[in-house]
Amino acid sequence: MGVENQKKEEDQTKSKGWLWWLIVLVLASMVFAAAVLTLLKNFKHSNPSGPGVPDHPGPIVAEYANALGMAMQFFDIQKSGKLVDDRVWWRGDSGLQDGIGSDGMDLDLSKGMYDAGDLVKFGFPMAFTATILSWAILEYGDQMNSVNQLGYAQDSLKWITDYLINAHPSPNVLFIQVGDPSLDHKCWQRPEAMTEKRPTIQINTTFQGTEVAAETAAAMASASLVFKKINSSYSNLLLIHAQQLFTFADTYRGSYSVSFPQVQEFYNSTGYGDELLWAAAWLYHATRDESYLSYVTEINGQAFANWGSLSWFSWDDKHAGTQVLLSRINFFGGKEMTVTENVDLQMYRKTAEIIMCGLLPDSPTSTSSRTQNGLIWVIEWHSLQHSMASAFLAVLYSDYMLTSQTEMLYCDGKSFKPEDLRKFAMSQVDYVLGQNPMEMSYVVGYGSNFPQYVHHRGSSIPVDAETGCKDGFKWLYSPKPNPNEAIGALVGGPFFNDTYNDVRNNSMQTEPSTYNNALFVALLSGLVTTSSVVQSFS
């Protein structure tokens, strides 16, 4: 029995040993699995985000969220047409007959938006507004959603693209304006009560307008990406229009400022090469068609891109925006590219770096185009357009660097981190929201001290006032503040000496615009919280 007991003990010992190793193996497997899951959580869109960049929106910055909600409302104020679920109590239907009988065609051009404080629909800046809204949604839609603004942004975008679709009745025809500025500016009326004639302007193969057609193509291509997953048929329709318009713009080259000299006083174009690159870049993102990539690199890069030059992003000049938009391909990669395409994309990114270095206040190549208090300032008309545009591009580039784990930006021997670009962008927003020598907000409704005499017809005339074309001017010159607050309107901005004169007839400083508000919305959407950006829009 002793031998048998000894054998049993040995067998039990062996069993316990095997059991112990089995437990160790299981625990090790669990630890390994947990480690793998942790790593996978740090990946987004098949690639890791940079250190410290969350996959999902982080803490909300309350001040920016509040400002973003207000800024988004301004697009409702600017809407033309039959209003649906209107959030602005003092606005009503307007422009319902726009497009009827236009050059023998009965078009529905009732939608769209009035560009600023007047009642004209200018197609060039309106399309730019749509493109910027699309870009903001594509890059920061999750952040907009975290503060309940994504739906409003998509609605405002579609209000414009619905109009643009109707304004493009055939491949080589695009209606680019509704209303005559010279007639409109002789009247001061609410849009709901306007009485002046509403003629239209169209571009075609005889009267070209490459920059407007190309910008409209960019708007539709970028919007097609926004609606791709939520309304595929609408997305496909937008893409068809975008491709047709780009072909039209490129085939029949000519400036709309030459075809229609009367536009030079309002939205004069300084050239169309930048719009062609801008549109082709968006079409590449929308289609992944290599021909569009070749267009912006080996075919037209040398001619149109202004590589190595500092430029200011605006409704007229798309160079800086194109440099940054094409940099994201260099950051995140794409399909197989030729050697030339790779080299040219590097030139776009290098030029984007020059622009970023110019914006950073401590950079050796910092621009002198800023006020004593740090606001980017280029021209006196609507001065905030360039500061908002520059800050938006800076926060985008900062996020491209973070997501791609690019640690440093080198500016003439000095290095900067992504957070330096973000800090610059925040300084521009903070100035606008009240940290300025005037100690006022330049956004109507934000804070306790904001513009009261905004140059805006609908805002300045009481809803129950009965005025005609001429007698409405008494409201322009009224000493009383606007009876209807244009909540969220970003006014033109300060002079170079950081001063602001809140007078309704001072349109240079007190007039808001949809395209500036779009840039402001895009910028706030990038700053309202933090998240890694998507590496592909499609």
- Residue 44 is predicted with a pLDDT of 32
Residue 152: how many other CB atoms lie within 10 Å:
18
Q: CA-to-CA distance for 23 and 32, rounded, in angstroms?
A: 14
* CA pair distance 190, 176, nearest whole angstrom: 22
State how far Cα 227 lies from the chain centre. 16
Q: Alpha helix locations (H) across 412-503?
A: 418-432, 457-460, 473-476
Contact assessment for residue 252 and residue 292, using Cβ atoms and an 8 Å cutoff:
no
Q: Supply the pLDDT for residue 2.
A: 45
Q: Output the CA–CA distances (angstroms, integers) from residue 416 to 313, 321, 360, 397, in the order listed.
A: 22, 21, 9, 12
Residue 137, both tokens = 């949604």
Largest CA distance in the chain: 122
How many Cα atoms within 13 Å fall on the side-chain side of residue 358?
Answer: 21
Q: Which burial class, exposed, middle or buried, applies to 16 when counting CB atoms under 10 A from its CB (0-12, 13-18, 19+)?
A: exposed
**How many CB atoms sit inside 10 A of residue 501's CB?**
11
* Per-residue pLDDT at 40 exceeds 50: no
**For the chain, percent of residues with pLDDT exceeding 70:** 89
Q: In the prediction, which pLDDT does 335 show?
A: 59
Q: Is the pLDDT of residue 237 over 80?
A: yes
Cα 464 to Cα 120: distance, rounded to the nearest angstrom? 23
DSSP label of 98:
T
Q: Which pTM was predicted?
A: 0.89
Q: Tokens for 196?
A: 């002046």
The 10s digit of each residue's pLDDT in 116-132 is: 999 999 999 999 999 99
Give the per-residue pLDDT at 53.
59
How many Cα atoms sit within 13 Å of 248 on the Cβ side? 29
Q: Would you say the C-alpha torsion 243, 247, 250, 252 has a positive or negative sign?
A: negative
Q: How many CB atoms lie under 10 A from the CB of residue 76?
A: 20
Q: How many CB atoms lie within 10 A of CB 342?
A: 14
- Which domains occur in the chain, in start order? 62-528 (1.50.10.10)
Residue type at 485? E
pLDDT at 451 over 90: yes
* pLDDT tens digits, one per residue of 288-331: 999 999 999 999 999 999 999 989 999 999 999 999 999 999 99
Mean pLDDT score, 12-30? 43
CB-CB neighbours of 142 under 10 Å: 18
Asked if pLDDT for residue 360 goes beyond 70, the answer is yes
3-state SS, residue 380:
coil
Distance CA 524, CA 136 (A): 9
User: CA 210, CA 254: separation in Å to the nearest integer?
Assistant: 6
Nearest to 112 by CA among 514, 517, 473: 514
Residues in the chain: 538
Q: Which residues are catalytic?
A: 455
CA proximity to 468, closest of 155, 53, 187: 187
d(CA 436, CA 434): 6
Map residue 145 onto helix, strand or coil.
helix
User: Is 23 or 67 the better-scoring residue by pLDDT?
Assistant: 67
Listed in sequence order, the residues at least 6 apart from 420 whose beta carbon sits closer than 8 Å to its beta carbon are 360, 362, 398, 409
| Distance in angstroms (rounded) separating the CA atoms of residues 212 and 419 | 36
Q: Which residues of 228-254 are buried (b: 16+ CB within 10 A; e: fewer)?
A: beeeeebbebbbebbbbbbebbbebeb
Sequence-ordered list of residues with C-beta below 8 angstroms from that of 80, at least 6 positions apart, any chain? 94, 95, 98, 110, 111, 112, 113, 114, 121, 191
pLDDT tens track for 79-115: 999 998 889 999 999 999 999 987 778 899 999 999 9
Which DSSP helix (H) or strand (E) runs through 224?
helix 210-226
Contact 404, 534 (CB under 8 A): no
Query: Does the pLDDT of residue 37 top 70, yes or no?
Result: no
Cβ contacts of 31 within 8 Å, gap of 6 or more: none
Question: Is the per-residue pLDDT at 531 higher than 90?
Answer: no
Which of 301, 303, 283 lies closest to 292 in space, CA to CA? Answer: 283
What is the per-residue pLDDT for 538? 78
Q: How far apart are CA 190 and CA 458, in angstroms?
A: 5
Taking Cα atoms as reference points, which of 360, 347, 364 lies closest to residue 418?
A: 360
Identify the pLDDT of residue 442: 98
| Contact indicator for 310, 390 with CB cutoff of 8 Å | no
Q: Which residues are CB-neighbours of 39 under 8 A, at least 6 positions away?
A: none
DSSP label at 298?
A: I
Higher pLDDT, residue 41 or 181: 181
Non-local CB neighbours of 310 within 8 Å, separated by 6+ positions? 354, 355, 358, 367
What's the rounded mean pLDDT across residues 243-265?
A: 96
Q: What is the DSSP letter of 533?
A: P
Dihedral, 192, 194, 198, 203 alpha carbons, nearest 10: -60
Question: pLDDT of 137-169, one tens digit each?
Answer: 999 999 999 999 999 999 999 999 999 999 999
Separation CA 474–CA 77 (nearest Å): 22
| Model confidence pLDDT, tens digit, residues 167-180 | 999 999 999 999 99
Are the C-beta atoms of 418 and 474 separated by less than 8 Å? no
Q: Are 220 and 212 in contact (CB under 8 A)?
A: no
